Every structure is written in C-alpha cells, then in structure tokens.
Chains A and B, each alone.
Chain A
Amino acid sequence: MTITDGLRPLPRPSWRRHAGWIGIAPLAVLLVIAFAIPVGSLLRLSFGEGDFTLEHFARIVTVPLYRSVLLTTLTISATTTLLCVVMSYPVAYLMATVGPRMRALLIVVVLLPFWTSSLVRTTAWIVILQGNGILNRLLMGVGLTSEPVAFVYNLSGVLIGMTHVLMPFVVLPLYAALRGLDLSTVQAAEGLGAGPTTVFFRIVVPLTAPGAVAGATIVFMNALGFYITPALMGGPAQTMISQMIADNVGRQLDWSFAAALSTVLLGATLVLFVLFQRVFGLDRLFSGGGGGSKSGEPFRLTSRGRTAGGLFGAVMGLAVAVFLIAPILVVFPMSLGSSPFLAFPPSDLSLRWYVSFFENSKWVGALTRSLQVAAVTVAGAVVLGTAAAIGLDRIGQHWRRTIETAFVLPMIVPVIILAVGLYYLFAPVGLVASIWGLAIGHTVLAAPYVFITVRAALKGFDPNLELAALGLGAPWHTMARRILVPVILPGILAGSVFAFITSFDDVILALFLTNIRTRTLPKLMYEGVAHEIDPTIIAAAGLIILVTVALLALDLVLTRKRP
C-alpha cells in the first residue's frame, strides 16, 4: 500500500487510514459478545463457580463412566476418520478417471450429504437401516438373512451416519491430490514392472498422503464434537462427549461439569486446528487444494482403458457413490407416497403428506420461524461478513492473519459448546424465548462463511480498479457501489446461500435456544425422529431437500458466472 499511497494526488483523510477497522469492527463486536464471551464464561465455569478448582477435570479422569465416554469419542472419531480415508480413495479415483459430466455428477453426489440437513440425513438412514427398514427387507427378501440385522442404534449406525457426512472433507483434497499426480509417474512405475497394487501402495498413496492427511485431520476434528448423529443413530454405548455435555446441562443441571467437558473438547479441537494450520495452512481448509507436481499431464485414464486393479477401484468408487446418495434417493420418493406406513418404493404418488404438513399449524409455525430466523441470519451475516472481508484488505499485513484466524474460529469450535455457552448467557436475559437469540447464534455460525466467500471473491479484485475509480474523482461510496460490489457480488451471493443453509438446517443451537413456542422446523423434526418417524417428518425432510438442492443449484449457477 505504501507505494500506491505515495502516488495519490491528495493525502488521505486520517479516518480512512483506519477504514479497514471500521469494516472489521461490527463482526468483531458480534463475535466478542456472542462467541468469545459465552464460550469464555463456559470455560471459566469449568474451574469452579466460585473459587478455582480442578475437581471437575479430576472427575472426568477418575469416574469410569466419563473415562469411557472420552474413549468412545476417540474411538468413534478415529474409526470414522479411517473409514472416510479408505472409502474416499475409490471415489477420488473414479472422479479423476471419468469424463467431465460424470465428474460433475460425482461432485454433486459427494457434496449433497454435506449440505443436507443432519436431521434429513439421519431420518433417511434410520428409515433405511432400522429393523423393518428398507435394507433389512431387501436382505431378507433375497434370503441373505432370516432375521433383521441391527444396523442402527448401535456402533454401525453412528459410523455410517458420521462417515456419510464427513467424507467430502477427504474426497475433495484427495481428488485434487490425484489430479496433481503426474500421469507419467504412474506410467513409469508400471513400465518398470509394478502391478496395480504396487502402484497404488508405493506410488499413489505416498504422493497423495498430504491431501488425505489434511482431510483426515478435518474429519477427526469435526467428529470429536458430533452430537446429533450419535444421539439419534447410536445406542447408550455410543455416547460421545457432546451428548455428555448436553446431558449435564439439560438433565443433571451440572454446569461446571458440562463446562469441564467442553474445555476438554475445545482443547482437543483447537490443538488439531493449530496443527492443521501449521502443517497445511488455513487456505487448505477451504480450497481443498492438493499437492503433487505441476509439470506433466494430470493423472487420467488413457486409451488402454482400466486395468483389473483400476476396474476394481472404479466399482468400489461407484459403490461408495451409491452409499453417499442413497438417503436422498430414498427419502424423497418416499415422501411422495400416500401410505401411512413408510414404504419404499411408494406404491403410488401423492402429495398427501405435504398437504398434511401444511394443514398442521405446528409444522407451519415451525417452518415460518425457521424462515424468519434464516432471513435475519442471512441479512446479518452478509452485512457483517462482507464488511469484514473488505476491511481486512485495508489493514496492516501482520494483523490480517490473526483476524482471519479469529473470524473462522466459529466454524472450528464444536457447535455444542457455542450452544451451551449462548444458553448460559441468553437464558437469564430472556433471549431464549424469542427468535432473536437463535438468530444471533446462527449469525455467529454463518458470518464466517460469507467472510470466506467474499474474501475469495476479493482475491479476483484488482486494487488498481479502486484506485482508478478514485483517481477519476469518484467518492469512496460511489466506487464501492459501482465497482467493488458488482465484482464481489457472486461471493456475497454464494455466502448468503451458505448462511441460509447453515441457519435453516441447524438443530443443535435450536435445541438449546428455543422453547416449545419458538421452536424451528429442525427442532420439531428432532423431537419427532427421537420419538417415532411418521410420514409428515418424511414430508418435512423432502421439503428441506428441495430447498437445499434449489439453493445449491443457485450457487452452482452463480459460481459458474464468476470470472
């Protein structure tokens, strides 16, 4: 900036030298009030409500029940991570070796579970996996088993649900790493006499390991804080630390102990986050960029076709793709049936359960509130996130990294911790009984998405355009309106899509920050799923899928227009 400053014809007014901070301040204030303070007070609680004590931490270590919850959390997270990596290789391989259309389809298949509400996914899996569910009826139908297999409400249920949603974090960097792999390196190994297995383990795995490890770190970090999936798809033996936190707040009313568990969870998450940042850099978290060499042709299929090993990989990749898309493929057609029993495929097509959804004031009220909260969230997140992203380019270099890290922290910290912290802060002041408390919480979660997408859009914005406009005599606000905003608009719109989905799909904050009069659609569904899945819930799930798919399609269109 110093060189361009020197070239300016007029000295800048002194306030403008701090203009960057003006943009950053609103989001910073929100994050201090609705993120740092609630999370901080919760952490403070873990050391005793009055005098300093470590007794709550001591309890975690000494009481066998809590020790086993910690162990379960680690075991489930590690197993999920392993499953994600193992299952991602075939999908990434398939993505790298098919035509562009098929590849685009596979990317959608990988990303859809990620952007589908956790409740919709969970509901669908339960419908597929339960005792009289689709999978068991299929297995018994072909005679593979005479009695229903217990797929859900146990370890396999939790692992299926968690792997399903966390896989994109490994598939995408792995796909990038595979594309970064030089085709001739693989051919060189083959030419020297290596068969498919040797090529995979001695060449492909070592060269794509950085991408896989980056993804695995994110998966493990996220898995540690999982709440909804183990709560709905696991049994008592699969109780994870987040459930223990919620249980201590909701049932035991033992705030200090819940706080101590939160501190442990947050500590573990932050250690992983710092490690990730040190080793891979923050950008990797969002871009999914891979390593590999730059020269040469990217890894692809040649005219020779697939080898036996390649064919095996492709078939496995297809199987995993089916696994990823199955819940959505099942639940949506199911919502169009008319039978009061869940049937797949539905014997007839009708909108009966959608009608019943819209005739029920309980569901309509919840949907309305969800939309209201999402509207407030999108507005808040877009204004705060965009201002902060624009501001960040206008402050000193050495501050940027710190601020950037601080602003993405809400994406890193397990939502359960924010939920409990906000509940602790909002309950006494009555914010829980209105939609505003939830909207504030959602804005904390959503603003970082807008911040990141606008930051990315700004990277394509040549600062000279701004100087040119100002040099031609445009005041700053005119420049912003006519030059800056049009350029970054796709980033803002993509950020709004993510903000909307973040709010519209959230269950965890809603569980803590709403009551029976202010509950949102996901919370109402949660109560239903935890009790019994009826067709109206499936209709609600179908509705959420429609909204999500429509928004993602919108995002795809917006992204394509980006220069």
Chain B
Amino acid sequence: MSPTPLGKPVAVRGLRKIYGGVVAALDGIDLDIAPGSFCTLLGASGSGKTTLLKALAGFETADEGAILVDGRDIGQVPVAKRNIGMVFQNYALFPHLTVRRNVAFGLEMRGIGRAEISRRVDAALALVGLDAHGDRLPRELSGGQQQRVALARALVIEPDILLMDEPLGALDKNLRQAIQIQLRDLHRRIAATTVYVTHDQEEALFLSDTIALMDRGRVVQVGSPEDLYFRPANRFVAAFLGECNFVRVPDGEEIGLRPEKTLIGARAEAAEIRLDGILGSAVFTGTGYRVTATVAGRELTALTANDDPVAGLAPGSAVVVGFHPAHAMRFADAARP
C-alpha cells in the first residue's frame, strides 16, 4: 500500500433525491468529510444512508445538489471513472474468479502491467491476512474471509474514497467484533477517506472519527462519537445513540440523562438534584444492576454497581433518584411547559 494518505476530502452540497415524486430519500444533505477520516452514516432503515452512499458511488443519481471530491464535482463522472473503492453488504465478489483475480480486476481495468498487478495484489492480500488463499474461489472462503477479499479488492486500486455498505451485517457477532478491530487498525495504517454505512450504533461509536446521524433523508447531527453521545442535538439523537432517560426537572424543562449518570438510592442522596421515585425492578447484569424507577409518571433506568444496596429494596419502595446538573443534556427541541 502507498505510504501517503490515500484519501481526498469529500463535500456533499444540498443533495436531494425524490422517489416516485413524493418520498424524499435524500432531503437536502450537506456533509463535509475530512481527508483520511472515517465517517459513518448511521441511521435506521429508510433513513437515506444507503441512498447517500450509492449516490457517492454513482449507482444512483441525485435530483439536486453536488458531490465534490477534492473540490471537483463528480456528478457527471461515470461510475467506472470515479476511482472509488466499494465494499458491498454481500461483498459482491465475482463468483467465477479466484481471490487473486477478484483483487486484480480493478488494476487490470486501469491497464497496469502484469508484474505491477501481481506485486500490488500480493501486498493487498497480505494487508488483509489472506496471502495463502489467493487461488481459492470466493465460495470456498468463510464469510469473514470473503469480507476481507472485498476489502482488499476495494483498497488495491488506491481509491479516492472507500465506501462500505454495512459490510459486517452478514457476519455473526463475535466475528463482527474481531473484524471491527481489524478495520480500525487498518484504517489507522492506510488513512483512506472512508464512508461507512451502518445501523449499528455500537459499531459506529467504535469505528468512527465522525458520525453523521441520519433520519428521513436528513443529516440530524454530525460530530465525533463523543459529541453525539454527550452533546446530542435533540431527543432523537439522544435516544438513537445509547440509552437515555427523559426527565422533567423541577423548573419544568425536559432534560436527557444517560442511565450511567442516573443516581439512585443511597448514591442519589449526595446529588445536587434529587427527585422522589418508586422502585420498579433491579436486574443483575454481572457488572452491575439495571434498576428502574418511576418518577413523576415516567420510568427511568439507572445502572449501578453490583454491590449497590438499592438492589436489596423491595419493588414498590420509595426511592430517591438524582443527578448532577453537569450530566443533564439539554436539547434545542426540548418540550417546555
């Protein structure tokens, strides 16, 4: 692989895409992706994240707006000329070609000499740890191996952007976590501008430099994982990323509170803000207890240590719930009295 960063900056400007005259798959997207960064498009199905990715790749055209790569509008550039590496959800390996021929395909299209192709294919396969599998057919590999072939095939052409469409969706949980670590390490080494689509918030938090959270064809918030987790722009972001209690504080404002910042029982006594509640259930999770309590008609969740005496109380007992004001998350769209 090339030692210099592969990536180019990407800018999306006012991108709109209407299906069937009514449904806005993309409803005015603006997004800047720094060169070499890992940007995740996170959202539920139907949020427009895959449509945006396909527009970047050139498989779908937008009705309005522009996509700029390194400052250049690529709207009229055909797919084959975009120099984009794409990893598909089902990998889309060519079933009739061996692993080597799959990886070599993009280089052959670029008219690169045979010796050079061979060298770069070797390097790409080594990068993903598949040096020994070059002569196999895709169907002879496991899902995780196929996934890595797809990655090698996308990277070997030294793309301006690497696009990945839920590439881990078809793998089981353990394998997914192992590959997430490999992906992160790989990205740190090659620093290709990467746009990654997923609906899995943990995956997004783990992998990304930047997350663009999408909903109904719009980007709701863009920021680092910490930004989105600790400073969600609105209720939707707070609820989508991690768990969130919505609490009406004494002054009437509604705030968000993460369960790990929600204090209950003895630990709440020292909190600056205290509310009266009724204990629901306490479920043991190993590292602690998941305790629920009802405050002013709303059920809240708190995570406590596994030696917290609150777990010993009978359900239905009166209990104090509290938090520190610094942990309260305030939203632009908070409901006010």
Report A's interface with B, CB cutoff 8 A.
182, 184-185, 187-195, 198, 203, 206-207, 293, 295-296, 302-305, 307
Contact = CB atoms under 8 A, between A and B. Distances in A.
Interface in B82-105: 82-86, 88-90, 92-96, 105
B178 interface: no
| Contact residues of B: prevailing secondary structure | loop
Nearest to A293: B95
A190 B80 contact: yes
Given A193-B109, A198-B109, A307-B78, A188 B61 contact: no
B90 A184 contact: yes
A455 to B, nearest CB: 32
A176 to B, nearest CB: 17
B306 to A, nearest CB: 43
Contact of B79 (A185, A190, A207, A305): A190
A432 to B, nearest CB: 54
Nearest to A192: B106
A304 B157 contact: no
A207 B139 CA distance: 14
A198 B93 CA distance: 16
B86 A203 contact: no
22 contacts: A182-B90, A184-B88, A185-B93, A185-B95, A187-B57, A187-B86, A187-B88, A188-B86, A188-B94, A189-B105, A190-B80, A191-B80, A193-B83, A193-B110, A194-B109, A207-B95, A207-B96, A295-B90, A295-B170, A296-B90, A303-B61, A304-B60
Contacts of B109: 192-194, 198
B92 A187 contact: yes
A185 B150 CA distance: 11
Contact of A304 (B59, B82, B106, B153): B59
Nearest to A194: B109
Nearest to A292: B95
B105 to A, nearest CB: 5
A189 to B, nearest CB: 7
A188 B157 contact: no
Contacts of B83: 193
Nearest to A184: B92
Nearest to A185: B92
B256 interface: no
Contacts of A192: 105-106, 109, 153, 157
A304 B58 contact: yes
B72 interface: no
Contacts of A302: 54, 59-60
Given A184-B90, A303-B61, A304-B59, A193 B106 contact: yes
Listed residue (B92, B93, B109) with the most chain A CB atoms within 10 angstroms of its CB: B92
B94 A187 contact: no
A547 B203 CA distance: 63
A412 to B, nearest CB: 31
Contacts of B106: 192-193
Contacts of B61: 303-305
Contacts of A185: 92-95
B10 to A, nearest CB: 16
Contacts of A303: 17, 60-61
Given A193-B81, A303-B60, A188 B88 contact: yes
B60 A191 contact: no
A187 B94 CA distance: 11
B57 A191 contact: yes
Contacts of A184: 88-90, 92
Contacts of A296: 88-90, 92
A32 B93 CA distance: 51
Contacts of B95: 185, 207, 293
Contacts of B89: 184, 296
A305 to B, nearest CB: 8
A23 B37 CA distance: 72
Interface in B148-193: 153, 157, 170
Contacts of B153: 188, 192
Nearest to B88: A184
Contact of B105 (A194, A195, A305): A194
A187 B60 CA distance: 11
A182 B96 contact: no
A189 B78 CA distance: 13
A525 to B, nearest CB: 48
A191 B84 contact: yes
A206 B137 CA distance: 14
Contacts of A206: 96
Interface in B36-85: 54, 57-61, 78-85
B104 to A, nearest CB: 10
A52 to B, nearest CB: 50
Given A302-B60, A304-B59, A307-B78, A191 B85 contact: yes
B248 to A, nearest CB: 45
Given A192-B157, A293-B95, A187 B78 contact: no
A194 B90 contact: no
Contacts of A307: 78
A532 to B, nearest CB: 54
Contacts of A188: 86, 88, 92-94, 153
Contacts of B57: 187, 191
B155 to A, nearest CB: 11
B310 to A, nearest CB: 48
A442 to B, nearest CB: 45
Nearest to A303: B60
A191 B78 contact: no
Contacts of B94: 185, 188-189, 203
B59 A187 contact: yes
Interface in B1-36: 17
A295 B17 CA distance: 26
B158 to A, nearest CB: 12
Given A187-B59, A303-B61, A194 B92 contact: no
A456 B58 CA distance: 43
B39 to A, nearest CB: 18
A182 B90 CA distance: 9
Contacts of A194: 80, 105, 109
Given A182-B92, A184-B88, A193-B157, 6 more contacts: A187-B59, A193-B83, A203-B94, A302-B60, A304-B58, A304-B60
Q: Which 8 A-B pairs have the closest CB atoms?
A: A192-B106, A193-B109, A184-B92, A188-B92, A184-B88, A190-B79, A296-B90, A191-B86
Nearest to B157: A192
A344 to B, nearest CB: 42
Contacts of B54: 302
Contacts of B105: 189, 192, 194
Contact of A187 (B79, B93, B96): B79
A108 to B, nearest CB: 27
